[in-house]
Structure 1
């Protein structure tokens, strides 16, 4: 699973393909769909200060965040730490559920 930072003439994005990830089974077990929209919701919940500075263009099969390089670099590090860790993803989902957060996946 690879997260990609893209530079399109000074406009930056962070993308990764949804599906086939180590955390997918844990996500599905909680009743969520492990798609790009889910991951967008996870970012909005887990890192709200960072998410508010980003624009999102996720799709079912892909997560996409657009913003300044420094924010996307921070996001890449944060997401890499949880994307292959089903236990961490379950913990974030549980905290989101307790707070009433809607993943909109």
Structure 2
């Protein structure tokens, strides 16, 4: 099923290849529209996934600070989310209406 991540009127990411971990939808990094990504120095550490890096979204002149995160080098148990990104802070994940028939 095709899914997409939406924020501030823009499609941030869209893919049929979604991995759900702890209720979060992880999109392939290459499915993300990189023009909306801005660097961030924020990071966090999960005991079983590893160190997460964050990106700020910038759409139509508005910023959503640290609204995307990913694990550049996840621990062994979290390898299914390597090279994938998830969203929070008001980013909506929904089925895409552009699903091919």
**Greater strand content:** 2
TM-score w.r.t. the length of structure 2 is 0.28
Larger RCO: Structure 1 or Structure 2 (Cα < 8 Å, ≥ 6 residues apart)?
1
* Higher helix content, 1 or 2: 1
Provide the TM-score with structure 1 as the length reference.
0.27
